[in-house]
Amino acid sequence: MNRVGFGFDSHRFADDRPLKLCGVPIEHDRGLSGHSDGDAPLHALIDAMLAASGMGDIGDYFPDTEKKWKNADSSWMLSEAMQIVLQAGWAPVNCDLTIVTEAPKLKPQRARMRERIADLLGLDSTSVSVKAKTAEGMGPIGAGEGLAAWAIVLMEEID
Ligand code: MG
């Protein structure tokens, strides 16, 4: 049996933090605020994987009240989520992410982001899609207040 899961996340930009997206450090004058490293695309992907596996959502496992996840590398959170879904009998088949931000331009980092996620999920990078778009100046994302990400994942039953 296969199941699909969907996730969304957004974080505000902050001046005093490094930017990391899909587990890849990105050169930019601002990073994302948040309890962890603020890696919104990975948080959306974690939510999508947990949802497809019937295992709840990111807040169930990585609450922002817990010191353990303060400034945590979200790659580590994705690895933990991977163990949770595998133990529940589900493995990812492919995933597709869309990041919406006015800056920086992400196309140069796209291959690295795909490879990093593929690595963390045990997939070929051809099974991982990362797309970047702008909001064309509309709304808070368009004004550069923050960044949003959507993720969809297909999971297959492994038991
Ligand atoms: Mg988040």
Distance 21 CA to ligand 1 centre (A): 11
Distance 62 CA to ligand 1 centre (A): 10
Sketch out the chain's domains with CATH numbers: 2-157 (3.30.1330.50)
Distance 72 CA to ligand 1 centre (A): 11
Distance 98 CA to ligand 1 centre (A): 15
- Three-class DSSP category at 28: coil
Whether residue 86 is predicted with pLDDT greater than 90 in this model: the reply is: yes
Give the tens place of pLDDT for each residue, 29-63. 999 998 889 999 999 999 999 999 999 999 999 98
Give me 1's structure tokens: 């049996």
Give the tens place of pLDDT for each residue, 97-149. 999 999 999 999 999 999 999 999 999 999 999 999 999 999 999 999 999 99
Give the tens place of pLDDT for each residue, 58-85. 999 998 888 877 888 999 999 999 999 9
Question: What's the CA gap between 102 and 110, in Å, rounded?
Answer: 16
Exposed/middle/buried for residue 142 (C-beta within 10 Å: 0-12, 13-18, 19+): middle
Provide the pLDDT for residue 43: 97
Provide the pLDDT for residue 95: 98
Distance 89 CA to ligand 1 centre (A): 25
Provide the pLDDT for residue 135: 97
Calculate the CA 154 to chain-centre distance. 15
Q: Judge if pTM exceeds 0.85.
A: yes
